[in-house]
Structure 1
Amino acid sequence: MAAAEELDIVIVGGGICGLATALGLHRKGIQSVVLERSDTLRATGAAITVFPNGWRALHQLGLDSTLLSTAIPWQRAVDISPEGVAHEIRLSEEDTRCLRRGDLVEALANALPLQTIRFGCQVVSVNVEKSSSCAVLQLHDGSLIKAKVLIGCDGLNSVIANYIGLKPTRFLSTCSVRGLTLYPNGHGYAPKSLRVRKDKHYVGRIPIDEKTVYWFVALEWIQKVDAKMPKDPASIRQLALDRTAGFSKDIVEMIENSDLSSLSLTRLRYRAPWNLLSRSLRRETITVAGDAWHAMGPFLGQGGSVALEDAVVLARCLSKKICNANMNRSRMHLSTQMAKDALDEYLKERRRRVVLLSTLTYLTGLLTIEDLSLLLRLLCIIIFAVVFRDRLNHTRYDCGEL
C-alpha cells in the first residue's frame, strides 16, 4: 500500500462552504487543501439568496464588493395564497440579493491560491489513526491522505457526517425544480420575491438582475409517480410545466423559456433539529460544516448564508489557536490538542445558532408544505409566537470578524 500524503488541514467538498472555509483560512495565512469529487466547480441549484447575515460573512471573506455588482437588491417578499390573497413582508433595509450560484462559487475559487482545490478526488472512507489521532482518508483511486484536521463540507450525502455519527438526512414530502430564465429585453419585474401557491404546488420567482430571474417550483412528492425522477433538463422542464399548468401565463412562459443548462430537480431533505442538539459533532480532529451538518429546507433561503457563517467562525477558531501557538516559530505547528480545542470552540459558538435556525426552518416548512392537523398547526403557531416572535431576527445575525 502506498504511503499516505500528510497534510495539515483538509476540507472535503468544493461547494460554497468548503471554498469559503478554505478562503477564510487563506485570509489568515493558513494553507488548506480542498478535495472536490467533481472534475470542475459545481454550482447545482441555479441561484442562492444571500441575506444580510450572509453579506456580513462575505465582507469578512473580502468578496462582498465583488459580488454586490452581480445582482440587484430586494427588500420585499410577496406570498399569494391559492385564493389569490397577497401577503407582503417588508425585509431589512440591508442588502438581500439573489446571486447566481456560479458567480459565488467562482468568486470563492478565484480568491484561493492555485493548487488549493483538487478536482476528481472522491473520498470513499475515513478512519482515525490511533497513534497520531490524524484522519486517514481513502480516495476512489486508492490513494491515501493523512490530515491533522478534517472538515466535512460534503453536503447532504456527507461521508464525514456519517463517520462522526450524525443521523442520515430525512426526506420532505416535496421535490423542487430550480432554474434561470433570461429576458434579452428585460423582464420588467419589481425587485421583490414572489411566491404563488395553487393546490399543493407553489412557484417562486426572484429577479437576479434586470434581465435574469431565478425561479423554483415546489412540487408534492408522489411516491408512485415520482419514484424515477427525470434527470435530463428537457424532461425536468416538462415536469415543471405539467405541474404548473393552472398558473398565470407569465409564470408558464418563464418556465418554457428557461435556460436548460440551469435546471435541476431534487428531493428536499433536512436534518432534524433535535439531532443537531443532542449529537456530538466532533470525532478526534474531524468535524462538519454547511449542509453536511445542518441541511435544512429552502423555506427561509438561509442555507447558503449560514454555510458562509460556519466558514468564517471555523476559520477564526482554527487561526486563533494556530497563530497563538506559532508566534515564535518559522514553520506552522498544529498539535492534536490545538485542533480539538479549536473545533470545540467552533461548535460551541455555532450550535445554538444552527439549532434555532434549523428549528425555525423546520416549522416554516411544516406550515408551508405539510398537511397538518388543526392541533399541530396551532402548536407550530404558538412556538412561533413564543420563540420566534421576530420573524426576521435571524437575518440580522453577525458572525463576527474573521
Structure 2
Amino acid sequence: MESLLVEDIVIVGAGIAGLATSLALHRLGVQSLVLEYSDTLRVTGFALTTWTNAWKALDALGVGAILRHQHVQLKENVTTSLIMGQQTSSLSFEGTGKHGDCEVRCVRRQLMLEAIANVLPSGTIRFLSKVVAIEESGFSKIKIVRLADGTSIKTKVLIGCDGINSVVAKWLGFKEASFTGRYVIRGYKKVMDNHGLEPKFMHYFGKGFRSGVMPCDDKTVYWFLTWTPTSEEKELANNPSKMKQLVLRKVEKMPSNIKTFIEKTDPKDILTSPLRYRHQWELMLGNISKGNVCVVGDAFHPMAPDLGQGGCCALEDGIILARYLAEAFSRKTCKHVVKKMGEEGKAKEQYKKIDASLRKYAKERRWRNIDISVTSYVLGFVLQGDLKMVAHFRDKVLPDFLAELLLKKSDFDCGKLNASS
C-alpha cells in the first residue's frame, strides 16, 4: 500500500549542499525534510579544502567553531616543480582580504557532515529514500516525489542537492554532467602519533599531473593527484592498489618525508573518480530554478577541483537559497494572505512567492558559479599541460598567479542568517 507524506520543503541529498541548506532553513525557522538514498551519511572524497568563503558560511550555520577545533589552520601554499626539482612559489595564507582574514583548513568530510547533521532537528534526514520520479499536481504546482520503497511525498518546494547524477537537475532539463577528460585519486592516512608536518598546502607539479598533500589535524594527512589517464589506466580505476602504485610512480621525486604518507595509505582509503563539470552555456541558459524546484551544489554546478571551491560554493548556495526561501514562508506574510484571500488564495500566493524567491536565488548564484566553474576547468588543463611551452609557463609563471587566484576567488561572504518574524 502506498504511503503518502506531506512536507513544506523536500531536499534530495544529504551531502554538504543538502545538509547546509536544511540547517540554514532551520536557523531561519523553516522546517525541511532531507531524503538520502544510502543508509548513512556519505563521506566520499575523505576531505576538502575549506577556504575563507566556506568558513563564512559555516559560521552562519553555527558550526564553524566545532570544525575549527578539529582541524589545523593552514598557513601557507607552497608549490614545487618535480620536473625542475625545486620550489617555485610560496604564498602566505595569513593576509586580509575585502571580507576579513584569510582562513584555510583541510576538513574531513565526515566531520563536516556530522557537525551539520548533529544540530538538525531529529527526523530531518530520512535515510534509504531513493527518488525514482517527480510529478506535478494541482493549481499550486505541488510536487509529488516518488520513492523506491513506494512512499510518495507531496511538497511545496523541491530542492535538488543530489550531486552530479541529480534526478532533480534532470527534471529541470539539465543534461548529464560532462567529462573533463581527467581523473582524480584521493586518499588519506591517519597515524598513531603526530605526523610532524607543517600546516601548509603542499602543491606538486609533474609531467601531466598535479598533486597536493596537506594535514587535516595533528594525525591525519590528506592527499590527491589529478591527471589525464590512458585507456589502460581507466580500466584500473576501480583497483585502489593499482592506483596507489600509479601515484607513487608519478610522484617518485616527491620528498620522501611527504611521499611516505601515500606509501602507507591503506588501499581501502583510496578513491579514484572521473572529474565532471557543467558547460558554461548550460549554466548560463539552463533552469537553475523552475517554479518551486531548484538545484544546489554539484547538482547545479559540478566542477573540477583545481580551485578547491566545489564544496565551498555549495555552502554559499545553501545559505543564500535559505535566506530567499524563508521570505516565502514568513509567518507574517502567510497570516496576511490567509486573512485577505483564504486558504486557496494563500496557496496560490505562496507559490508565487516561492517562485520569485527561487528565481532571485538563481539570478544571484548563476554568475558566481559560472566564474568559479569555468576558471577551474581552464586551470586544470593548464596545470597539467604536457607541451614544453605550457609546462614552462606553468612552472615559471603560473604558481604565483594560481596562489593569488585561490585567495581572490575565496574572498567572498555569503552573509548571515537572520530569522524573520
TM-score if structure 2 supplies the norm length?
0.86
Matches of residues 310-389 of structure 1 in structure 2 within 5 Å? 310-323=317-330, 324-326=332-334, 335-370=350-385
Name the residue aligned to 1:292: 299
Q: Which residue of 2 aligns with 1:307?
A: 314
Greater shift after overlay, 29-38 or 212-221? 212-221
| Aligned partner (choices 233, 236, 249) of residue 225 of structure 1 | 233
Alpha-carbon distance in 1 for matches of 2:247, 2:151? 42
- The separation in 1 between residues aligned to 2:360 and 2:409, in whole angstroms, is 21
Structure 1's 187 and 11: CA in aligned 2 closer, same or farther, altered over 3 A? Answer: same
Q: What is aligned with 2:400? A: none
- Asked if 1 retains the 8 angstrom alpha-carbon contact of 2:207 and 2:386, the reply is no
Task: Give the corresponding residue for 2:269.
Answer: 262
Corresponding residue for residue 381 of structure 1: none
Q: Find the counterpart in structure 1 of residue 196 from structure 2.
A: 188
| Structure 1 residue 51, shift from structure 2 partner | 0.7
Secondary structure in 1 matching 2:54: helix
Q: Which residue of 1 aligns with 2:209?
A: 201
- Call closer, same or farther: CA 1:356–1:28 in 2, change over 3 Å: same
Over the aligned positions, Cα root-mean-square deviation in angstroms equals 3.0
The 8 Å contact of residues 172 and 270 in structure 1, kept in 2 or not, is answered as yes
Report the alpha carbon displacement of residue 76 of structure 1 after superposing the two structures with TM: 1.4
- Give the 3-state SS of the residue equivalent to 1:326 in structure 2: helix
Name the aligned partner's letter for residue 143 of structure 1: T
Distance 1:359 1:219, change over 3 A: closer
Residues 74 and 246 of structure 1: is their aligned pair in 2 closer, same or farther, counting only changes over 3 Å? closer
**Cα drift, residue 250 of structure 1:** 2.9
**Structure 1 CA distance, aligned partners of 2:326 and 2:267?**
42
CA shift in 2, pair 1:391/1:20, >3 Å:
closer
Q: Contact between 1:45 and 1:262, CA under 8 Å: does it hold in 2?
A: no
Amino acid at match of 1:284: G
Q: Does 1:79 align with 2:65?
A: no
Q: Which residue of 1 aligns with 2:65?
A: 65
Q: What is the Cα deviation at residue 106 of structure 1? A: 0.4
Q: Equivalents in 2 of 1:373, 1:362: separation in Å?
A: 20
The answer on whether the counterparts of 2:14 and 2:35 sit within 8 Å (CA) in structure 1 is yes
Contact kept, 8 Å, 2:236 with 2:242, in 1: the verdict is no
In 1, the alpha carbon distance for the partners of 2:370 and 2:334 equals 34
What amino acid does structure 2 have at the position aligned with 1:309? E
Distance 2:356 2:389 in 1: 46
Q: Deviations over 1:327-358 (max 9, x none)?
A: 5689x976211211111111112112111111
Q: Within the alignment, does 1:142 sit opposite 2:150 as a pair?
A: yes
CA distance in 2, matches of 1:148, 1:111: 24
Q: 1:393–1:4: structure 2 CA closer, same or farther, 3 Å change rule?
A: same
- CA 1:18–1:197 in 2, change beyond 3 Å: closer, same or farther? same
Of residues 237-246 and 85-94 in structure 1, the stretch that sits farther from structure 2 once superposed is: 237-246
- Give the conservation status (yes or no) of the 8 Å contact 1:203–1:218: yes
Distance 2:404 2:18 in 1: 33
Find the partner of 2:407 among 384, 392, 397: 392
Letter in structure 1 aligned against 2:379: T
Q: Is residue 165 of structure 1 aligned with residue 166 of structure 2?
A: no
For the structure 1 residues 292 and 172, does the alpha-carbon distance in structure 2 shift closer, same or farther, using more than 3 Å as the test? Answer: same
**What secondary structure, in the 3-state scheme, does the structure 2 residue paired with 1:154 have?**
coil
2:312 alignment partner AA: S
Equivalent-residue separation in structure 1 for 2:145 and 2:193 (angstroms): 51
Provide the C-alpha distance between the structure 2 equivalents of 1:26 and 1:277, rounded to a whole number of angstroms.
30
Is the CA contact 1:297–1:362 (under 8 Å) kept in the aligned structure 2? yes
Secondary structure of the structure 2 residue equivalent to 1:294: coil
CA distance in 2, matches of 1:230, 1:94: 37
Letter in 1 for 2:85: G
- Structure 1 residues 300, 390: closer, same or farther in 2, change over 3 A? closer
Instruction: Measure, in 1, the Cα distance between the counterparts of 2:167 and 2:29.
Output: 28
- Inter-partner Cα distance in structure 1 for 2:223 and 2:333: 48
Contact preservation (8 Å) 2:162, 2:168 = yes
**Alignment-derived partner of residue 117 in structure 1:** 125
The amino acid that maps onto 1:321 is A
Higher alpha-carbon deviation: 111-120 or 219-228: 219-228
For the 8 Å contact 1:182–1:259, the answer to whether it is kept is: no
User: Paired residue for 1:90, among 69, 86, 92?
Assistant: 92
Query: For the residues of structure 2 that align with 1:2 and 1:185, how far apart are their CA atoms?
Result: 53
Provide the rounded CA distance (Å) in 2 between the counterparts of 1:260 and 1:103: 21
* 3-state SS, counterpart of residue 300 of structure 2: helix
Aligned equivalents of 1:255, 1:350: Cα separation in 2: 37
Q: What is the CA deviation profile of residues 287-345 of structure 1, one whole-angstrom value per residue up to 9, with x for unaligned ones?
A: 10001101111101111111111010011111122114235689x97621121111111
From 272, 278, 285, the counterpart of 1:278: 285
CA contact (8 A) 2:236 2:243 kept: no
CA distance in 2, matches of 1:261, 1:117: 27
SS in 1 for 2:416: coil
Deviation of 1:194 after TM superposition, in Å, equals 0.7
Report the Cα offset of residue 274 of structure 1: 2.7
8 A contact 2:47–2:108 mirrored in 1 = yes
Name structure 1 gaps, 5 residues minimum.
379-387
Deviation at 1:129, TM superposition (A): 2.3
